[in-house]
Chain A
Amino acid sequence: MGLAGFEVEIERSRNGGGVVTEDMTLNMGPQHPSTHGVLRFVVRADGEVMKSAVPDVGYLHRSIEKIAEKVGWHGFIPYTDRVDYVAAMFCNHGWAMAAEKLAGIEVPKRAEYCRVIADELCRLHSHLLSVGSMAMDIGAFTPFTHAIREREYLNDLFEELCGARLTFHYMRIGGVGWDLPPGWAEKVLAFLDRFEAMIDEYNRLISYNKIFVERLANVAVITAAEAIDYNLVGPNLRGSGVRYDVRKDDPYSVYPELDFEVPVGRGEMGTLGDSFDRYIVRMEEMKQSCRIIRQALRQIPKGPVIAKVPRNFKPPAGDCYVRLESARGDMGWYVVSDGTAFPHRCKIRTGSFSGISIIEHVSRDLMIADLVAVIASLDLVAPEIDR
């Protein structure tokens, strides 16, 4: 039985009593309520128990890396918004960092602070969607709406900052597009006051709910060694107990000047590296992000927000690799310049892609209901996988 390139072997087995049973091949996606975009899994299941779940990627491929070769250095920034539209700020930042590194541009201090503030707000933005949709996949709809409500305030803040609510296009090569609007910092602080209380409320509402914990604890355990082998990054890696964060281990921007911690999974409710650890790491990261934003707003210096960058931007020939900690972990940008107004080659390395590769490994012997929990706990965002 062939299924679009997946040769699935149907196992016939004779169980004790002489009943011949067959595995069932289930096609989950691309249109399925809980595949977070357009993902597809070919699931081989014995009743409710999965024998394997093979991800099929590529439904959201938009050739963004190829487009970079055609639109020029400045013109590509709006496209980077679409690499990961749940956390667009990081993609802006990565592209800007790569171009600046190639051209040797010094970014003004104030612009770096603006970037960090925007990045961390965007991390809240993305993690809220992640934990909210996690609760929804487990079957609790109300926490999702509560997360979305807080996200709506963030959208308002972003709208005031850069005019967009989802695809921000805020950062430029050499700085950021706009300075912080007057009075915006106070609004952010007021939001943070409200939001930190909201994290505790959210923990009471869902995180330590008995059913929720039972559904996540000890499900899809990824050991630290496995996580490293499969190249997991970000909260997925830290959920397995590996304290690795680009902001600390390969610092960029003004992160060395800011004081924050890197939360890791502790096996609080079950085994270290289970779905619950990956979930709770995101909750704790949101608290740390609030801390970073407060410090950055306090320390931000006066000055210009963008360096002098020629309109006809032509970085010298060469290549560079930059990395930054996006909401889904270590995001790498490998950019080759041939000295013309167009990049020669661009390759983006994203966290979701390595996240989806481990699903086939961890999904064995889980139940079908667990698969959606695993997808949500790995925080897979389809556009980031395919680009």
Chain B
Amino acid sequence: MQELVDSLIASGLLPDTVPAWAHYLAAMLLFGGIVVFGFVLPIAGITTWVERRVMGRMQSRIGPNRVGPAGFLQWLADGIKNLLKEDIVPRAADVPLFKLAPYVVIVGFVATFVVLPFSGDLIIADMNVGILYVTSVTALVVVGILMAGWASNNKWSLLGGIRSAAQIVSYEIPAGLSIFPIVALTGTLSMQGIIRAQGPHPWQWFLFDNPFTLCAFVVFFVSALAEGNRTPFDLPEAESELVAGFATEYSGMRNLLFFMAEWGNLYVIGAIVTTLFLGGWQIPWALDGQPVLRNVLQFGVFFAKAYFFVFLAIWLRWTLPRVRVDQMMTMCWKYLVPIALVNLLGTAVWMLVFPEGVPAVRWLLTLGAGVALLAFFWRVRHHVVAAGYGLKQLSFNPLATRRVEW
């Protein structure tokens, strides 16, 4: 970013009568604006559409299908509807806090994109504290949710806010502890540095580096789901218990901001997991002469990997019930934190014993994961056959959902 602006000033395209920091600021705002409005907000919106379509398929129904092709523009229609709705502030609410809370939440979410890579060259700022920065700005979300819960002056909101605070603060510990093994392996906190330390092929990913990183991946993904308030950890807004949790009293645009942050967070979770464990944007070809093609391919690979985890989170959400608040805490402190600690120590010992890594273990783990995936799909196939469904009922075209003739 800085180099680009410097080169533009040097080439005379940007006037040097203005101090350089003004150029940096303008470039940052411009590029940041492009990223926020061109990628972050649409990705949050489109994820709602994807979620509703996937959930529709899982529930043998169609999902949104009226606005645009296959209902694709539904997210825009919903967004506009929410913007135009009245912004109701309860009379008993703590007005400044109530109005501020959604912005704190959305800032905590959007700010993570500063260090999230898009491809090898496309990143807003490749900070040397990248992953640490991500964990710290996402902690802002809990402040916003707690503010919303308290300021609404509603007991259901308050319960939601308290649950959220307890949940996010607790689950940040196993999540953080699961990041450390990777940091130890690479010796850097920079997102791009972590990706560059891996390779394009599965056995070159940190996921399969040693058994401890595999465990760390699972712990991190579970903790990230909990931090993102996703089922089975969607306690702060458990609709059957707390009406809508911290968002009960919100309407219109402020409600929209909460939900945008929630769905956008899914992509953030996917992007962080991809960066840390799945080799990020690495592609098998160097493509030195074609920077555009290279970046497009890298972006495609990164996006596909990250979006797989978005799909996984959606899949889990519409499959699993919700845990209770004490079970959630038990899971964090009695299981995930000890496991994460063992992972960290195990990785340290592994690095001490095998400074060069063990290729055989990498291959074995990759093979094991492949076999597990195959077994899983075989099992799904078995149930589909047992249920007597044909291709027609299963095809991914949601419009094919018809009444089963009997």
CB pair A146–B60 under 8 Å, yes or no, is: yes
Residues of A within 8 A of B232 (CB): 139, 211
Residues of A within 8 A of B386 (CB): 197
Binds A, one of B128-136, B316-324, B332-340: B316-324
Binds A, one of B138-146, B237-245, B357-365: B237-245
CB pair A187–B327 under 8 Å, yes or no, is: no
Tell me the bound Cα distance from A215 to B234 in angstroms: 15
Taking A135-B321, A367-B324 as contacts, is the C-beta distance between A194 and B406 under 8 angstroms?
yes
CB pair B59–A145 under 8 Å, yes or no, is: yes
Tell me the bound Cα distance from A177 to B329 in angstroms: 57
Give the B interface residue count (CB, 8 A): 36
CB pair B406–A187 under 8 Å, yes or no, is: yes
- Kindly state whether residue B5 has any CB partner on chain A within 8 Å: no
CB pair A214–B327 under 8 Å, yes or no, is: yes
Return the contact of A191 from the options B321, B326, B406 (Cβ within 8 A): B406
CB pair A141–B59 under 8 Å, yes or no, is: yes
CB pair B324–A369 under 8 Å, yes or no, is: yes
- Kindly state whether residue B387 has any CB partner on chain A within 8 Å: yes
- Kindly state whether residue A22 has any CB partner on chain B within 8 Å: no
CB pair A190–B241 under 8 Å, yes or no, is: no
CB pair A142–B319 under 8 Å, yes or no, is: yes
Taking A33-B239, A201-B387 as contacts, is the C-beta distance between A26 and B155 under 8 angstroms?
yes
Residues of B within 8 A of A166 (CB): none
- Kindly state whether residue B23 has any CB partner on chain A within 8 Å: no
Residues of B within 8 A of A26 (CB): 155-156
How far apart are B223's CB and chain A's nearest CB, in angstroms? 17
Tell me the bound Cα distance from A137 to B326 in angstroms: 17
How far apart are A238's CB and chain B's nearest CB, in angstroms? 24
CB pair B318–A141 under 8 Å, yes or no, is: yes
Across chains A and B, the number of contacting residue pairs, with CB separation under 8 Å, is 91
Tell me the bound Cα distance from A190 to B404 in angstroms: 12
How far apart are B243's CB and chain A's nearest CB, in angstroms? 6
Count chain B CB atoms within 10 A of each CB in A136, A142, A149 and give the residue with the most: A142
Chain A residue at smallest Cβ distance from B386: A197
CB pair A139–B406 under 8 Å, yes or no, is: no
How far apart are A154's CB and chain B's nearest CB, in angstroms? 12
Return the contact of B238 from the options A149, A197, A369 (Cβ within 8 A): A369
Chain B residue at smallest Cβ distance from A34: B240
- Kindly state whether residue A24 has any CB partner on chain B within 8 Å: yes
Taking A24-B155, A194-B406 as contacts, is the C-beta distance between A138 and B322 under 8 angstroms?
yes
- Kindly state whether residue B269 has any CB partner on chain A within 8 Å: no
CB pair A142–B59 under 8 Å, yes or no, is: yes
Q: Mark A31-61, 1 if CB is under 8 A from B, else 0.
A: 0111000000000000110000000000000
CB pair A211–B325 under 8 Å, yes or no, is: no
Segment 356-370 of A: residues with Cβ below 8 Å from B: 367-370
Tell me the bound Cα distance from A345 to B143 in angstroms: 61
Q: Mark A173-210, 1 if CB is under 8 A from B, else 0.
A: 00000000000000100110010010001001010010
Tell me the bound Cα distance from A137 to B61 in angstroms: 21
CB pair A145–B60 under 8 Å, yes or no, is: yes
Tell me the bound Cα distance from A337 to B273 in angstroms: 74
CB pair B241–A34 under 8 Å, yes or no, is: yes
- Kindly state whether residue A212 has any CB partner on chain B within 8 Å: yes
- Kindly state whether residue B231 has any CB partner on chain A within 8 Å: yes
Taking A32-B243, A135-B321, A372-B240 as contacts, is the C-beta distance between A367 and B387 under 8 angstroms?
no
Tell me the bound Cα distance from A340 to B60 in angstroms: 53
Residues of A within 8 A of B243 (CB): 32-33
**Chain B interface (Cβ < 8 Å from any Cβ of A):** 55, 58-61, 155-156, 159, 162-163, 231-232, 234-235, 238-243, 318-327, 383, 386-388, 404, 406
Q: A194-B404, A197-B388, A204-B383 are in contact. List 6 more A-B contacts (CB 8 A).
A: A137-B240, A139-B320, A145-B60, A153-B406, A214-B323, A214-B327
Listed A/B pairs (24) with beta-carbon separation below 8 Å? A24-B155, A26-B156, A33-B240, A34-B239, A48-B159, A48-B163, A138-B321, A139-B232, A140-B319, A140-B322, A141-B318, A142-B59, A145-B61, A146-B59, A194-B404, A197-B388, A204-B383, A206-B321, A211-B321, A214-B327, A215-B322, A367-B326, A368-B159, A369-B324
Top 7 nearest A-B pairs (CB, nearest first) are: A139-B322, A145-B59, A140-B321, A34-B240, A138-B321, A139-B321, A137-B240
